[in-house]
């Protein structure tokens, strides 16, 4: 079976599109629920809508990125796998820690960022061995702490400008990361992914990535609403 050009990139975009559709569907269902069935008040939702939107955008890009990594996993060396675990764990922990610290304070932001960063870093790095797993684990720990500290320091600054700036940096980093993986593994991936079993594996992985990403995002929304909150935020 001949492999299509840029099939991995196409799968990444499709996975991100599915994740976006899932969030739109969940938001529509929640919007049409009667007010007495909603867990959050309208004022609270409006107050934290900016952070929720950026968390959703981060989740959408992360779902596609994780699918992209799994498309290439048979072509990755240990060094590339370590880079994958470090990058994904770091940026995931940083983004989650930053936004949760803005709504709930430094403690909840640090714990949430570290847990998500460790989870994503380990899952991304496990495909390349224990060294990549350890790299993803350590990057998740560091990213969660740095994101929480950044959110705490920037709380009273111009977040309307800084939040989109940070997200653009995050998106640019993902573009550079995709280019890195593409250039470093492309010469091996055509042979590895041309096997019919691998094509089937790629198609089968779309839905689990979407489900896991949406589930993690919903848990983070629950943390924002009901998680521990610093005294000066109450």
Q: Determine if residue 13 is left, alpha or beta; phi over 0 gives left, psi from -120 to 50 gives alpha, anything else beta.
A: alpha
pLDDT at 66: 86
pLDDT at 1: 42
The residue behind tokens 């940070």 is 166
Alpha carbon 210 to its chain centroid, in Å, reads: 11
Q: What is the per-residue pLDDT across 34-63, written as a single tens digit (0 to 9) for each?
A: 766 666 555 566 566 778 888 899 999 988
Helices 7-31 and 196-204 cross at an angle (nearest 10°) of: 20
Q: What is the per-residue pLDDT across 70-111, written as a single tens digit (0 to 9) for each?
A: 877 666 777 888 888 899 999 999 999 999 998 888 999 999
CB 93 within 8 A of CB 147: yes
The residue behind tokens 């061995």 is 129
- Which residues fall within 8 angstroms of residue 200, CB to CB, at 6 or more apart? none
Q: What is the per-residue pLDDT across 167-211, written as a single tens digit (0 to 9) for each?
A: 999 999 999 888 888 887 765 555 554 544 444 444 446 778 888
Task: Report the half-sphere exposure of 19 (CA within 13 A, side-chain side).
Answer: 32
Dist CA 175 CA 96 (whole Å): 19
Dist CA 115 CA 160 (whole Å): 27
Q: What is the mean pLDDT of residues 101-124?
A: 91
Dist CA 82 CA 129 (whole Å): 9
pLDDT at 200: 43
Helices 49-71 and 7-31 cross at an angle (nearest 10°) of: 150
């Amino acid at each position: 079976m001949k492999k299509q050009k840029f099939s991995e990139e196409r799968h990444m975009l499709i996975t991100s599109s599915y994740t976006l559709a899932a969030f739109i569907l969940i938001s529509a269902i929640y919007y049409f629920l009667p007010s007495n069935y909603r867990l959050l008040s309208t004022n609270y939702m409006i107050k934290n809508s900016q952070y929720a939107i950026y968390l959703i955008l981060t989740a959408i890009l992360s779902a596609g990125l994780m699918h992209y990594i799994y498309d290439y996993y048979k072509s990755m060396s240990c060094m590339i796998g370590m880079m994958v675990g470090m990058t994904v764990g770091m940026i995931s922990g940083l983004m989650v820690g930053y936004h949760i610290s803005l709504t709930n304070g430094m403690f909840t932001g640090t714990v949430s960022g570290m847990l998500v960063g460790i989870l994503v870093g380990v899952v991304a790095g496990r495909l390349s061995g224990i060294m990549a797993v350890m790299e993803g684990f350590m990057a998740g720990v560091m990213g969660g702490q740095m994101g929480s500290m950044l959110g705490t320091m920037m709380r009273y600054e111009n977040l309307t400008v800084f939040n989109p700036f940070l997200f653009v940096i995050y998106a640019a980093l993902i573009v550079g990361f995709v280019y890195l993986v593409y250039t470093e593994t492309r010469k091996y991936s055509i042979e590895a992914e041309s096997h019919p079993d691998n094509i089937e594996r790629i198609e089968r992985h779309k839905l689990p990535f979407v489900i896991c990403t949406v589930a993690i995002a919903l848990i983070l929304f629950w943390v924002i609403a009901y998680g521990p909150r610093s005294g000066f935020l109450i």
